[in-house]
Amino acid sequence: MDLTTAIDMDSNKLLNLALRKGGDYADLYFEQNTFHSIVLRDGEVNAAATDNEGGLGIRVVSGQNTGYAYTESSLPRDREEAARTASHIAQGLIRTSKPVQIATMNLPDRYRILKPWEDFSPQDKMPFLYDLNDRIFSADKRVKKVTARLSDSTSRIEIYNSLGIHCTDVRPLASLSVTCVMESNGQRESASASRSFRMGGEFLHPDLIRELAQEIITRTSFLFGAKQPHGGEMPVVMAAGGSGILLHEAIGHAFEADFARKKVSIFSDMMGKRVCNPGITVIDDGTIPGNRGSLNVDDEGVPGQKTYMVTDGILTSFLHDRISARYFQSEPTGNGRRESFRYMPMPRMRATYMDNGRDTEETLIASVKKGLYVDTFSNGQVQIGAGDFTFYVKSGYLIENGKLTQPIKDTNIIGNGPEALARITGVTRNCLIDDGAWTCGKEQSCAVSCGMPSVLVSSLTVGGRV
């Protein structure tokens, strides 16, 4: 499949075939994706990978129900067979919709590609990995191993739907990740760091390499003096940036409207109600230029946008795809996303962050007699219905009598979403988006990002020694 094939084909015919048994809506999602990666290991860039794949996903929606099929073939008979398969969901239902005249939608360009990745060979990319490796080894004699991976992908998508919408998007995604192992006096520690943006080859810049080298050295060195903390309930100051994982896990998933539609989210019945203290505003944003979670258009033809989930402490919007928007008689919010043409779209986050408050980080730390300050994270999880969420802390400090003291590492923090939100008692004015390679794994993988100003949560359960 390529875009030319998609444009030339009779999309109306396929949409008609998909809706032959009825149904409210149908769409065609064409995708062509090219992926490259190179790996540095033991001082050499000596492995490379290339993947080239594409296909067409066809979806029929009937009420809240979905029929889906995809084909990797560009043959008309295979595409028609996929449309027939998807059409089965509407069997026996009376609602019907027919495709209308298709018009092409104009979209903004939030990830302008200055240097297309297809113009870059491994030879153009390798010096950046060697530079990163050299900087890390020369910075600290304790460094034993460095592994770095540079990957880039360019995804070309094209959508037609029975509402008459046609749009195309070209989505670049570049990521550089590094892992460092250090050893000192028989103690080994490892840490990882990454950067990821929707950018072309201009992503490769000496400043990026310098920044990442410095960060991985700092992160790994820090661990030698750190300990697992004592566990229990305590106040936690979450540093600006990656602490946005709190929002992603504690509330973001529970605001994804497929869960609310199925009545399995703890926030299902809380629209319009207070969920946080006044002054707290939480946003899911697909419009940040070059951000890993940004979208010109989502995967069902809804323009990328900025969605205020919580406004001044009140739950004001779920994150919708077309199905949940119809159910809640709301507008889709541009959150209908999918991993690839192989998956049907569902509500997913983009870049989730909290607006600035009025406090300073120093005052938050000073207000805590005994607690924790946390600043780097690796992974998180949530139980949508029970509301219990966790995130894993790679590093931070104890707070004792208002000051940062003992470095800490490797602790899981657990809380309950609505309770934790209500316990946010301080928000600073230093909101920072974390540009690491965050990936959300709700049934499918999706590139996301998160951010946060520093906040004080008055009580969370910290894992640790007892």
Partner 1 sequence: MKQKDLLQQMCDYALEVSLRKGAQHARIAAISNTAHELSVLNDTIDTIQKSVDSSLMINLFVEGRYGTCSTNKADPAGIDKLLDDAIASVRLLAPDPFRKLVPADLRYKGVPLYSAHRGSVDTEVKKAFLSGCAASIWGKDPALISVTAGYSDYRRWLHLADSDGLSCTSENTWYSLSVECAVRGRGDTRPSDWDYEGGIKPEDIGIGSPGIPCRCAASALERALAKRNPRKIGSGRYQVIVENRVAATLLSPMIDAISGSSLQQQNSFLLDKLGKSIASPALTLIDSPCLRGSPGYRFFDSEGLATAKRTVIETGRLNMFFLSTYYALKMQMPVTISAPSLLLLKAGKGNAATFAGLIKNGIFVTGFNGGNCNTATGDFSYGIEGFKVENGQITYPVNEMVMTGNMLDLWNRLLAAGDDALKTMSWQIPSLVFDTIEFAGL
Please, which of residues 196-225 interact with partner 1 by CB under 8 A? none
Q: Which of 214, 412, 425, 439 binds partner 1 (CB under 8 A)?
A: 412
Binding positions for partner 1, 273-332, rule CB under 8 A: none
Is residue 144 within 8 Å of residue 182, measured between CB atoms? yes
Contacts of 350 (CB under 8 A, 6+ apart): 284, 285, 286, 291, 293, 294, 295, 304, 334, 335, 337, 448, 449
Radius of gyration (Cα) for the chain, nearest Å?
Answer: 24
User: Using CB under 8 A, which of the segments 102-110, 203-211, 289-297, 408-416 binds partner 1?
Assistant: 408-416
Indicate the residue among 88 and 358 with the shorter CB distance to partner 1: 88
**Could you tell me how far CA 156 lies from the centroid of its own chain?**
19
Does 20 sit near partner 1 (CB under 8 A)? Answer: no
Site string for partner 1, 238-257 (x = CB under 8 A): -----------x--------
Interface pick for partner 1 out of 152, 189, 299, 355 (rule CB under 8 A): 189
Q: What is the DSSP string of 185-230?
A: TTEEEEEEEEEEES--GGG--HHHHHHHHHHHHHHHHHHHT-BPPB
Q: Which of 326, 270, 336, 353 is nearest to 300 (CA)?
A: 336
Task: Determine the residue type at 401.
Answer: N
Extract the runs of DSSP E, i.e. beta strands, from 63-164: 65-71, 103-104, 143-161
- Residues 17, 296, 335: CA angle, nearest 5 degrees: 70
Among 13, 20, 145, 166, binds partner 1 (CB under 8 A): 145
Please state the closest distance from residue 99 (CB atom) to partner 1, in A. 21
CB of 415 to partner 1, least distance (A): 7
Q: Which of residues 352-391 bind partner 1 (CB under 8 A)?
A: 378-381, 383-391
CB of 127 to partner 1, least distance (A): 12
Q: Helix, strand, or coil here: 6?
A: helix
Rounded to whole angstroms, the Cα distance separating 114 from 18 reads: 38
Q: From residue 194, give the alpha-carbon distance in Å to each of 37, 88, 121, 339.
A: 14, 44, 22, 21
Q: Write the interaction track for partner 1 spanning residues 154-183; mark x where CB under 8 A is met and - where it is not.
A: -------------------------x-x-x
Please identify which residue in 108, 127, 232, 289 interacts with partner 1, judged by CB under 8 A. Answer: 232
Q: Which of residues 58-97 bind partner 1 (CB under 8 A)?
A: 64-72, 82, 85-86, 88-89
x/- mask, partner 1, residues 37-56, rule CB under 8 A, reads -x--x--xxxxxxxxxxxx-
Question: Of 163, 270, 404, 422, which one interacts with partner 1 (CB under 8 A)?
Answer: 270
Scan residues 443-462 and list those touching partner 1 (CB under 8 A). 461-462
Q: How far is the CB of 76 from partner 1 (least distance, A)?
A: 16
CB neighbour class for 104 (10 Å; exposed up to 12, middle 13-18, buried from 19): exposed
Return the number of the residue (70 or 353) whose C-beta is nearest partner 1.
70
Cα(85)–Cα(89) distance, rounded to whole angstroms? 8
